[in-house]
Amino acid sequence: MNPIAAVVIGMSIVLAAATFAFVADLLRNTEPDPNAAKIDRLTERLARQDGEIQALRAELSALKRELSELAAAPRPEPAPPSPPVPPPEEPPSEQSFSLDQFGGMAPPQETEGLTEPMQLAKKRFNDGIIRPKPGVLREILGEPRTAYSTACQPVTNPKLVKTLATRNFGNFRLTMIRPALDSLGQVLARLKKEEPDIYAAIGTAGALCARYVRGSAKSVSSHAWGAAVDLTLKRNLDRMGDGSTQFGLVVLAEFFNDAGWYWGAGYSREDSMHFEVGEALLRKWAAEGKL
Protein backbone atom coordinates (compact mmCIF):
# COMPACT_ATOMS: atom_id res chain seq x y z
CA MET A 1 0.00 0.00 0.00
CA ASN A 2 1.14 3.47 -0.74
CA PRO A 3 2.48 4.96 2.47
CA ILE A 4 0.85 8.24 1.69
CA ALA A 5 -2.45 6.53 1.18
CA ALA A 6 -2.03 4.69 4.44
CA VAL A 7 -1.28 7.93 6.24
CA VAL A 8 -4.29 9.58 4.67
CA ILE A 9 -6.49 6.69 5.65
CA GLY A 10 -5.15 6.73 9.21
CA MET A 11 -5.60 10.43 9.51
CA SER A 12 -9.13 10.08 8.17
CA ILE A 13 -9.92 7.47 10.79
CA VAL A 14 -8.48 9.64 13.57
CA LEU A 15 -10.32 12.71 12.27
CA ALA A 16 -13.58 10.78 12.06
CA ALA A 17 -13.19 9.54 15.62
CA ALA A 18 -12.41 13.05 16.85
CA THR A 19 -15.33 14.46 14.93
CA PHE A 20 -17.66 11.83 16.39
CA ALA A 21 -16.45 12.56 19.92
CA PHE A 22 -16.89 16.32 19.39
CA VAL A 23 -20.40 15.90 18.03
CA ALA A 24 -21.35 13.55 20.88
CA ASP A 25 -20.01 16.00 23.44
CA LEU A 26 -21.86 18.83 21.73
CA LEU A 27 -25.08 16.84 21.81
CA ARG A 28 -24.58 16.13 25.49
CA ASN A 29 -24.11 19.83 26.27
CA THR A 30 -27.30 20.83 24.42
CA GLU A 31 -29.58 18.57 26.53
CA PRO A 32 -31.93 20.73 28.81
CA ASP A 33 -31.02 21.08 32.50
CA PRO A 34 -33.98 19.77 34.59
CA ASN A 35 -33.29 22.36 37.35
CA ALA A 36 -33.06 25.35 35.07
CA ALA A 37 -36.83 26.10 35.11
CA LYS A 38 -36.96 25.82 38.90
CA ILE A 39 -34.01 28.16 39.24
CA ASP A 40 -35.72 30.65 36.95
CA ARG A 41 -38.93 30.55 39.02
CA LEU A 42 -37.04 31.04 42.26
CA THR A 43 -35.19 33.95 40.76
CA GLU A 44 -38.44 35.58 39.68
CA ARG A 45 -40.00 35.00 43.13
CA LEU A 46 -37.02 36.52 44.89
CA ALA A 47 -37.25 39.51 42.61
CA ARG A 48 -40.94 39.99 43.43
CA GLN A 49 -40.35 39.60 47.18
CA ASP A 50 -37.56 42.11 47.02
CA GLY A 51 -39.94 44.53 45.32
CA GLU A 52 -42.57 43.94 48.02
CA ILE A 53 -40.01 44.49 50.76
CA GLN A 54 -38.98 47.77 49.19
CA ALA A 55 -42.65 48.84 49.00
CA LEU A 56 -43.23 47.95 52.67
CA ARG A 57 -40.16 49.91 53.67
CA ALA A 58 -41.52 52.90 51.81
CA GLU A 59 -44.92 52.60 53.58
CA LEU A 60 -43.20 52.25 56.97
CA SER A 61 -41.21 55.39 56.32
CA ALA A 62 -44.41 57.24 55.39
CA LEU A 63 -46.14 56.07 58.59
CA LYS A 64 -43.19 57.22 60.69
CA ARG A 65 -43.43 60.65 59.12
CA GLU A 66 -47.19 60.84 59.84
CA LEU A 67 -46.66 59.80 63.47
CA SER A 68 -44.01 62.46 63.88
CA GLU A 69 -46.35 65.08 62.44
CA LEU A 70 -49.22 63.98 64.73
CA ALA A 71 -46.97 64.09 67.79
CA ALA A 72 -45.86 67.60 66.92
CA ALA A 73 -49.41 68.87 66.23
CA PRO A 74 -51.27 70.68 69.12
CA ARG A 75 -53.81 68.53 70.95
CA PRO A 76 -57.47 69.68 71.05
CA GLU A 77 -59.02 70.63 74.37
CA PRO A 78 -61.04 67.78 75.94
CA ALA A 79 -64.82 68.14 75.61
CA PRO A 80 -66.66 68.95 78.84
CA PRO A 81 -68.38 65.92 80.39
CA SER A 82 -72.02 65.44 79.48
CA PRO A 83 -74.51 66.03 82.29
CA PRO A 84 -75.78 62.79 83.81
CA VAL A 85 -79.01 61.50 82.32
CA PRO A 86 -81.62 61.10 85.04
CA PRO A 87 -82.99 57.56 85.33
CA PRO A 88 -86.53 56.97 84.06
CA GLU A 89 -89.21 57.70 86.57
CA GLU A 90 -90.23 54.59 88.43
CA PRO A 91 -93.51 53.95 90.17
CA PRO A 92 -93.44 54.68 93.88
CA SER A 93 -92.37 51.92 96.22
CA GLU A 94 -94.40 50.60 99.10
CA GLN A 95 -92.66 52.92 101.57
CA SER A 96 -94.17 55.97 99.85
CA PHE A 97 -97.69 55.09 100.95
CA SER A 98 -99.32 56.33 104.13
CA LEU A 99 -100.89 54.21 106.83
CA ASP A 100 -104.59 53.92 107.51
CA GLN A 101 -106.18 54.65 110.89
CA PHE A 102 -105.44 51.10 112.05
CA GLY A 103 -101.80 50.95 110.92
CA GLY A 104 -102.37 49.12 107.64
CA MET A 105 -101.02 50.42 104.35
CA ALA A 106 -103.25 52.82 102.42
CA PRO A 107 -103.30 52.63 98.61
CA PRO A 108 -102.36 55.40 96.15
CA GLN A 109 -104.97 57.54 94.46
CA GLU A 110 -107.12 55.93 91.81
CA THR A 111 -108.56 57.33 88.61
CA GLU A 112 -112.20 57.37 87.66
CA GLY A 113 -113.89 55.52 84.82
CA LEU A 114 -112.84 52.03 85.93
CA THR A 115 -116.07 50.19 85.18
CA GLU A 116 -116.04 48.56 81.74
CA PRO A 117 -113.99 45.36 81.48
CA MET A 118 -111.21 45.27 78.90
CA GLN A 119 -111.59 42.65 76.18
CA LEU A 120 -108.76 40.37 77.32
CA ALA A 121 -109.91 40.27 80.94
CA LYS A 122 -113.52 39.79 79.88
CA LYS A 123 -112.62 36.63 78.01
CA ARG A 124 -110.02 35.10 80.30
CA PHE A 125 -110.72 36.44 83.79
CA ASN A 126 -113.51 37.51 86.14
CA ASP A 127 -115.82 34.95 84.54
CA GLY A 128 -119.12 35.15 86.43
CA ILE A 129 -117.66 37.57 89.00
CA ILE A 130 -119.27 41.00 89.32
CA ARG A 131 -117.51 43.97 90.81
CA PRO A 132 -119.69 45.42 93.61
CA LYS A 133 -120.70 48.99 92.81
CA PRO A 134 -120.70 51.65 95.54
CA GLY A 135 -124.48 51.24 95.90
CA VAL A 136 -124.08 47.55 96.73
CA LEU A 137 -121.27 48.30 99.18
CA ARG A 138 -123.42 50.92 100.92
CA GLU A 139 -126.33 48.49 101.06
CA ILE A 140 -124.28 45.78 102.76
CA LEU A 141 -121.66 47.71 104.72
CA GLY A 142 -123.09 51.21 105.10
CA GLU A 143 -121.47 54.57 104.33
CA PRO A 144 -117.83 54.62 105.51
CA ARG A 145 -117.98 58.29 106.55
CA THR A 146 -120.14 61.39 106.05
CA ALA A 147 -117.68 63.41 103.95
CA TYR A 148 -114.82 62.56 101.60
CA SER A 149 -111.91 64.17 99.81
CA THR A 150 -109.21 62.91 97.45
CA ALA A 151 -107.01 62.04 100.46
CA CYS A 152 -107.35 58.97 102.67
CA GLN A 153 -109.41 59.66 105.78
CA PRO A 154 -110.52 57.49 108.72
CA VAL A 155 -113.67 55.38 108.55
CA THR A 156 -116.21 56.83 111.01
CA ASN A 157 -119.23 54.53 110.55
CA PRO A 158 -119.32 52.53 113.84
CA LYS A 159 -120.94 49.50 112.19
CA LEU A 160 -118.26 49.31 109.50
CA VAL A 161 -115.48 49.97 112.00
CA LYS A 162 -116.58 46.89 113.97
CA THR A 163 -116.16 44.70 110.89
CA LEU A 164 -112.64 45.99 110.18
CA ALA A 165 -109.46 44.34 111.44
CA THR A 166 -105.73 44.66 110.83
CA ARG A 167 -103.61 41.60 110.11
CA ASN A 168 -99.99 40.82 109.25
CA PHE A 169 -99.27 38.79 106.12
CA GLY A 170 -95.56 38.13 106.30
CA ASN A 171 -93.94 41.25 104.89
CA PHE A 172 -96.98 43.53 104.96
CA ARG A 173 -99.87 44.57 107.16
CA LEU A 174 -103.41 45.28 105.95
CA THR A 175 -106.70 46.59 107.30
CA MET A 176 -109.85 45.16 105.67
CA ILE A 177 -113.20 43.69 106.64
CA ARG A 178 -112.56 40.46 108.56
CA PRO A 179 -114.01 37.99 106.02
CA ALA A 180 -111.85 39.58 103.32
CA LEU A 181 -108.76 39.12 105.49
CA ASP A 182 -109.70 35.46 106.02
CA SER A 183 -110.24 34.93 102.30
CA LEU A 184 -107.00 36.73 101.45
CA GLY A 185 -105.14 34.51 103.91
CA GLN A 186 -106.53 31.41 102.19
CA VAL A 187 -105.48 32.71 98.77
CA LEU A 188 -101.96 33.43 100.02
CA ALA A 189 -101.71 30.01 101.69
CA ARG A 190 -102.58 28.30 98.42
CA LEU A 191 -100.20 30.60 96.55
CA LYS A 192 -97.36 29.72 98.94
CA LYS A 193 -97.92 26.03 98.27
CA GLU A 194 -98.40 26.13 94.50
CA GLU A 195 -96.41 29.22 93.44
CA PRO A 196 -93.75 29.81 96.12
CA ASP A 197 -91.70 32.20 93.97
CA ILE A 198 -94.64 34.54 93.45
CA TYR A 199 -95.62 34.23 97.09
CA ALA A 200 -92.11 35.29 98.15
CA ALA A 201 -92.27 38.34 95.86
CA ILE A 202 -95.74 39.55 96.81
CA GLY A 203 -96.24 42.83 98.66
CA THR A 204 -98.92 45.48 98.96
CA ALA A 205 -99.66 49.05 97.99
CA GLY A 206 -102.44 49.29 100.58
CA ALA A 207 -106.06 48.39 101.26
CA LEU A 208 -108.31 50.59 103.44
CA CYS A 209 -108.61 54.20 102.27
CA ALA A 210 -111.81 56.25 102.64
CA ARG A 211 -111.70 58.82 99.83
CA TYR A 212 -113.13 59.76 96.46
CA VAL A 213 -111.93 58.26 93.26
CA ARG A 214 -109.38 60.71 91.93
CA GLY A 215 -110.99 63.35 89.72
CA SER A 216 -114.48 62.74 91.08
CA ALA A 217 -116.49 64.64 93.67
CA LYS A 218 -119.08 61.92 94.24
CA SER A 219 -117.67 58.49 93.32
CA VAL A 220 -116.22 56.82 96.42
CA SER A 221 -113.31 54.42 96.02
CA SER A 222 -113.97 50.75 96.73
CA HIS A 223 -111.00 50.87 99.11
CA ALA A 224 -113.16 52.96 101.48
CA TRP A 225 -115.05 49.82 102.59
CA GLY A 226 -111.94 47.70 103.22
CA ALA A 227 -113.00 45.19 100.57
CA ALA A 228 -110.17 45.80 98.09
CA VAL A 229 -106.38 45.50 98.08
CA ASP A 230 -103.58 46.59 95.77
CA LEU A 231 -100.75 44.05 95.44
CA THR A 232 -97.19 44.41 94.20
CA LEU A 233 -94.45 42.04 93.07
CA LYS A 234 -90.91 42.65 94.31
CA ARG A 235 -92.06 46.10 95.49
CA ASN A 236 -92.84 47.15 91.91
CA LEU A 237 -96.24 48.59 91.07
CA ASP A 238 -97.86 47.57 87.83
CA ARG A 239 -98.46 50.79 85.89
CA MET A 240 -102.14 51.59 85.62
CA GLY A 241 -103.66 51.98 82.19
CA ASP A 242 -100.66 50.94 80.10
CA GLY A 243 -102.46 47.92 78.66
CA SER A 244 -99.88 45.46 79.99
CA THR A 245 -99.77 43.30 83.09
CA GLN A 246 -96.98 41.74 85.11
CA PHE A 247 -96.93 37.98 84.61
CA GLY A 248 -97.14 37.28 88.33
CA LEU A 249 -100.33 39.31 88.60
CA VAL A 250 -101.90 37.16 85.90
CA VAL A 251 -101.17 34.11 88.04
CA LEU A 252 -102.54 35.91 91.10
CA ALA A 253 -105.72 36.75 89.20
CA GLU A 254 -106.45 33.07 88.70
CA PHE A 255 -106.12 32.42 92.43
CA PHE A 256 -108.30 35.40 93.38
CA ASN A 257 -110.94 34.60 90.76
CA ASP A 258 -111.15 31.07 92.14
CA ALA A 259 -111.83 32.61 95.56
CA GLY A 260 -114.57 34.93 94.23
CA TRP A 261 -112.52 38.14 93.95
CA TYR A 262 -112.68 40.56 91.02
CA TRP A 263 -109.45 41.51 89.21
CA GLY A 264 -108.95 45.19 88.33
CA ALA A 265 -107.48 44.35 84.92
CA GLY A 266 -111.12 44.11 83.88
CA TYR A 267 -111.58 47.88 84.17
CA SER A 268 -111.76 50.02 81.03
CA ARG A 269 -108.43 51.44 82.17
CA GLU A 270 -106.71 48.35 83.49
CA ASP A 271 -105.58 48.38 87.11
CA SER A 272 -103.87 45.02 87.34
CA MET A 273 -102.61 45.38 90.91
CA HIS A 274 -106.17 45.87 92.21
CA PHE A 275 -108.21 42.97 93.64
CA GLU A 276 -111.58 43.36 95.35
CA VAL A 277 -114.22 41.09 96.83
CA GLY A 278 -116.84 40.09 94.24
CA GLU A 279 -120.49 40.98 94.81
CA ALA A 280 -121.66 37.38 95.19
CA LEU A 281 -119.00 36.66 97.83
CA LEU A 282 -119.86 39.86 99.67
CA ARG A 283 -123.56 38.96 99.77
CA LYS A 284 -122.70 35.44 100.90
CA TRP A 285 -120.76 36.80 103.88
CA ALA A 286 -123.63 39.11 104.73
CA ALA A 287 -126.10 36.21 104.60
CA GLU A 288 -123.84 34.20 106.90
CA GLY A 289 -123.76 37.04 109.43
CA LYS A 290 -120.06 37.74 108.97
CA LEU A 291 -120.59 41.43 108.23
> What is the model's pLDDT at position 13?
57
> Mean per-residue pLDDT for 127-138?
94
Compare 239 and 78 and report the one with higher pLDDT.
239
Looking at the structure, give the CATH architecture of the domain made up of residues 98-287.
2-Layer Sandwich (3.30)
Q: Give CA torsion, residues 74, 77, 78, 81, to 10 deg.
A: -170
Residue 273 has pLDDT above 50, yes or no: yes
> Mean per-residue pLDDT for 198-225?
88
- The mean of the pLDDT values for the chain is 78
> What is the model's pLDDT at position 243?
73
**Looking at 74-78, 162-166, 259-263, which range is the least confident one?**
74-78
Closest CA to 148 of 223, 73, 246: 223
∠ CA 71-76-80, rounded to 5°: 140
Residue 182 has pLDDT above 60, yes or no: yes
> Mean per-residue pLDDT for 104-124?
47
Q: What is the pLDDT of residues 16-30, one digit of tens each?
A: 555 555 545 555 555
User: Torsions phi, psi of 127, nearest 5?
Assistant: -65, 115
Residue 248 has pLDDT above 80, yes or no: yes
For the question of whether the overall pTM of this predicted structure is more than 0.85, the answer is: no
Contact 176, 206 (CB under 8 A): no
Cα 224 to Cα 154, 164, 177: the distances in Å are: 9, 11, 11
Amino acid, res. 85: V
Compare 181 and 212 and report the one with higher pLDDT.
181
Q: Report the distance separating Cα 12 and Cα 25, nearest Å.
A: 20
Contact 238, 273 (CB under 8 A): yes
Domain edges within the chain: 3-72, 98-287
User: Torsions phi, psi of 169, nearest 5?
Assistant: -125, 75
Pair type for strands 228-233 and 202-206: antiparallel
